Amino acid sequence: MTNRTLPSLLPLLLWVILLPSAWASVPPAALETMVVQEGGRRKPYLVFAEETLRSLSGKTRLTQDGGRMDAMGIITSIWMDPSADWKGRELILVSNRPLKQQLGLETGRKLFSWNELAGNAELGREIAEAAETRRRDPRAKLVGLQKEASDVGLRMGLLESLLAGGSFRVIPPLSGTDWQAPSGDEMPLRALRDAWSENSRQRFDRTAEEFTGLVTQTGASPASWKISLEVAYQKAHPFRWAWILYAAAGILLLVSRGSWEKCAYQLAWVLAGSGFLLQAAGLLSRVLIAGRPPVTNMYESVIWVAFGTILFALIFEAIYRAGTFLLGAIPVAVASLILADSQPMILDRSIHPLTPVLRDNFWLTTHVLSITLSYAAFALALGVAHVILGRIIAGKDPSERLYTYLYKTLQVGVLLLAAGTILGGVWANYSWGRFWDWDPKETWALIALIGYLFLLHGRLSGMWGGFGLAVGSVLAFMGVLMAWYGVNFVLGAGLHSYGFGTGGFPLVAAFVSLEVLFVAVAFLRKR
């Protein structure tokens, strides 16, 4: 911070000295918009609380003292009253079953208390081993139980740091960029804790609000519209509403018959369209909050692919008015969005700063958006193929038009995937040097592309017809799945390591087996 900001800090200091002054009316939840610096970013307290509780317990709501408490409640309680028996409460997530068996913990439970875990010698040994592995090679990737144990260790450490108060970095610095956490006898914490212990909600909220106002005056916090937007985004769950609308549109399309069909189709358009707008608004919020394109981790890519699938479906619907595209796209989009909504531990929804290599790059943006849009087009092709194969299984003959639709969708995907893969090479060539290095991510993008090229060329040569194209669209999507999910979560090798994660393998394996089964049934019915 420069000298210019010093004068603006004065009112803050004055406020700290002169508090408590006049009482005034209080807007509710004044704490929500207080700015906290965490994870390389300044964010509203509400977001901080939800993200923190999610990394601690895997949820944003917990049952405590017989009642449901939200993240704001729990995290604020910890901050205000760290001397309470937090270490004795079941707050820390241990989800991995083999780890629980290894540690001798009840496999039915998910949440454990700090005391329980700290008293577990086996866990201590696993964590020490993980630390040893890390020390020997700081770049080593922890695997299996070691990784799970180390995650549990991190959660325990998180609770400790919350109890020590060090996580609540709400005081802007006089110089530099490191925000400070107030100690127990510093403002605003002292005033907040006083109000808390007196159980005076009014005074608590006012203190929070006044403090937030002063921090805003220093100019150290992000623009207030950004903070309000992020709070609104965090509360609104736009992607949840989007899938509900999509699902409604899908059910409408599925059940409408006869004279209702046209009316239902129009209503489905309206529903899907509003869901789409809602999702676009959600994505736009993320872009505005983070100041970067919306596809930087697995969570964002899943949301983006759902978005792209509906986008292409709506474009095709606008051209052909067939209903097939929406019918094909909706299950894909709904499944993706539900997955993103329900698996916060696998798909991390928090907004993090980007690794340097992903910043500030036009080519990167184009490359990633193009690749993920191609995934969306292939996902739509998968949906349309399901409509076709579903008709075949149901004993109906799919019309020739359906095959044309499938082909058109595949064309979009092939163009975007080819362009995206090549742009990736161009980007790599520009920013790192080499054009193509057989990195697993790029190799699998190539394999997926070859899969679809094989499909189209085989059709061209007459080796298979429309039915083969439908079957191929389902099978070739497995290549996309491998490039998209498998490289980061199964192979876990290569340079695209910023997207690595774990978990979700049983889910994906189940999906793949179901698809193979579906294709097999279609084959049998066809014969």
Partner 1 sequence: MLTPLASRQAVAPFGSRIRGILRGSSQSLGCNIFNTASYVLRNSQCKLRVKSQLLRASNQRGLVLCYCPSEATLLSDPCRPKECLEMKQNRSKLFEMSDQGNLTQRTLSRAGMIAERQRRSVVWRLIHLLGSLKLALLLLATIAIACAAATFTESRFDAAVARAWIYKAPWFIAWLGLLCVNLFAVTLSRWPWQKKHTGFIITHYGIILLLIGAVIGSRFGFEGNVTLRTDGQPQRKIITDRSCLQVESPADSYLYLLPLDTRFLHVTENSPKFLPVPGTSLRIGIDAVSEHLVPEPRLAPGNGRNSGTVVLLGFSSGMMRQSLRVALGTEEGSPHSHEFFGRADITFSAKESTPTSRDPAGKKPWLQLLPGKEPGTMLYRIGRGVTVTSSGVLKSGEELPLGWADWRLQLLEIAPGKTIVTSPKPAQEGGVPGFHACLISPDGTKGASAWVASGEVVPLTIGNDLVRLGYGLELKPIPFSIALTDFRIPRDEGTETPSDFRATVLFKNLKTGQEKEGQIRMNHPASYPGGILANITGFNYKFSQAEWNPQDLQETTLQVLYDPGWFLKWTGSLAICLGIFMMFYLRPRA
Binding site for partner 1 (CB under 8 A): 37-42, 169, 177-179, 353, 356-357, 359-361, 364, 400, 403-404, 407, 411, 414-415, 418-419, 422-423, 425-426, 429-436, 438, 440, 443-444, 446-447, 450-451, 453-454, 457-463, 465-467, 469, 479, 482, 487, 490-494
Comparing CB distances to partner 1, the nearer of 146 and 279 is 146
Of 418, 425, 419, 413, which Cα lies nearest the Cα of 476?
Answer: 413
Comparing CB distances to partner 1, the nearer of 36 and 313 is 36
**Burial class (CB within 10 angstroms; exposed 0-12, middle 13-18, buried 19+) of 119:** exposed
Of 328, 304, 322, which Cα lies nearest the Cα of 250?
Answer: 328
Paired tokens of 419: 């362009």
Comparing CB distances to partner 1, the nearer of 14 and 121 is 121
Position 19, amino acid: L
Q: How many CB atoms are closer than 10 A to CB 45? A: 25
What minimum distance in Å lies between the beta carbon of 143 and partner 1?
Answer: 12
Comparing CB distances to partner 1, the nearer of 1 and 254 is 1
What minimum distance in Å lies between the beta carbon of 448 and partner 1?
Answer: 9
Of 210, 154, 294, which Cα lies nearest the Cα of 18?
Answer: 210
Rounded to the nearest 5°, which phi and psi values hold at 257?
-135, 155
Paired tokens of 492: 């876990």
- H-run or E-run covering 227: helix 224-236
Using H for helix, E for strand and C for coil, what is the string for 181-195?
A: CCCCCCCCHHHHHHH
d(CA 31, CA 71): 12
**Burial class (CB within 10 angstroms; exposed 0-12, middle 13-18, buried 19+) of 112:** buried
What minimum distance in Å lies between the beta carbon of 171 and partner 1?
Answer: 12
Comparing CB distances to partner 1, the nearer of 239 and 427 is 427
Of 314, 302, 242, which Cα lies nearest the Cα of 275?
Answer: 242
Asked if 375 and 410 count as a contact pair (C-beta separation under 8 A), the reply is no
Paired tokens of 224: 């207030």
Comparing CB distances to partner 1, the nearer of 65 and 400 is 400
226 Cβ partners below 8 Å, 6+ apart? 288, 289
What minimum distance in Å lies between the beta carbon of 106 and partner 1?
Answer: 32
d(CA 188, CA 192): 6
What minimum distance in Å lies between the beta carbon of 271 and partner 1?
Answer: 30
CA 345 and chain centroid, separation = 9
Comparing CB distances to partner 1, the nearer of 314 and 493 is 493
Q: How many CB atoms are closer than 10 A to CB 240? A: 15
Comparing CB distances to partner 1, the nearer of 435 and 511 is 435
What minimum distance in Å lies between the beta carbon of 328 and partner 1?
Answer: 18
Comparing CB distances to partner 1, the nearer of 140 and 270 is 140
What minimum distance in Å lies between the beta carbon of 14 and partner 1?
Answer: 25
What minimum distance in Å lies between the beta carbon of 116 and partner 1?
Answer: 28
**Under DSSP, is residue 341 helix (H, G, I), strand (E, B) or coil?**
helix
What minimum distance in Å lies between the beta carbon of 486 and partner 1?
Answer: 9
What minimum distance in Å lies between the beta carbon of 476 and partner 1?
Answer: 10
Comparing CB distances to partner 1, the nearer of 241 and 464 is 464
What minimum distance in Å lies between the beta carbon of 322 and partner 1?
Answer: 14
Comparing CB distances to partner 1, the nearer of 23 and 432 is 432
Q: How many CB atoms are closer than 10 A to CB 265? A: 18
| Overall residue count recorded for the chain in this entry | 527
